[in-house]
Amino acid sequence: MAQKPTSAAFPDFVLEVETETEGTYAKICALTQRGINRQHNMQTTEVPQDCDDESLPSALERAVQSSEVTIAASGVWSSQSHEMMMDWWYSGQTKNIRVRHVKAAVGDTEYETGPAYLVGLNNAVEKGQKVSAELDIQFDGVPDRTAKVAP
């Protein structure tokens, strides 16, 4: 019998920033879009495939040089998160953040956590509309993964 996939919806993918109280996290209010990008930066090397016949094409072999995790988010600019976001950007420092995968199965990654920079903080507005926000967040290193435990 076919098994229906278990999927996650918007409230099941949560971005949180550590508050002034260590270990306490808060959502960034009014985000309507968020995504996480995990990327390996690759190096390639041309390797001859035949020592006797060097006229044959070489093969490209690849290796991971580095890894990075970034977050893009956007939505409505809210007064609830205004000062937290402004302070973070103007400090030029990292803040601990976490991405929560609410629907993760027990034993699977529930949290990706670590220090991150708020690289981009953009606001715009059009007459008759609300002020929008676009965020570019980059982990300083690769985040730690924490598995979900049984309740």
pLDDT tens-place string over residues 82-139: 999 999 999 999 999 999 999 999 999 999 999 999 999 999 999 999 999 999 999 9
What secondary structure letter does DSSP report for 92? Answer: T
The confidence score (pLDDT) of residue 53 equals 93
Using the structure block, give the residue that is written with the tokens 């991405």: 99
**Percent with pLDDT over 70 in the chain:** 100
**pLDDT tier for residue 6 given thresholds of 50, 70 and 90:** confident
CA distance to 41, 96, 97, 129, per residue, from 78 (Å): 35, 21, 19, 13
What is the helix (H) or strand (E) element at residue 79, kind and residue range? helix 79-91
> Domains plus CATH for the chain?
10-40+68-147 (4.10.410.40)
Q: How many Å is the Cα radius of gyration of the chain?
A: 21
| Dihedral sign from CA coordinates of 103, 104, 105, 107 | negative
Mean pLDDT of 17-37: 95
Query: Measured at the alpha carbon of residue 13, what is the angle toward residues 66 and 33, in degrees to the nearest 5?
Result: 85
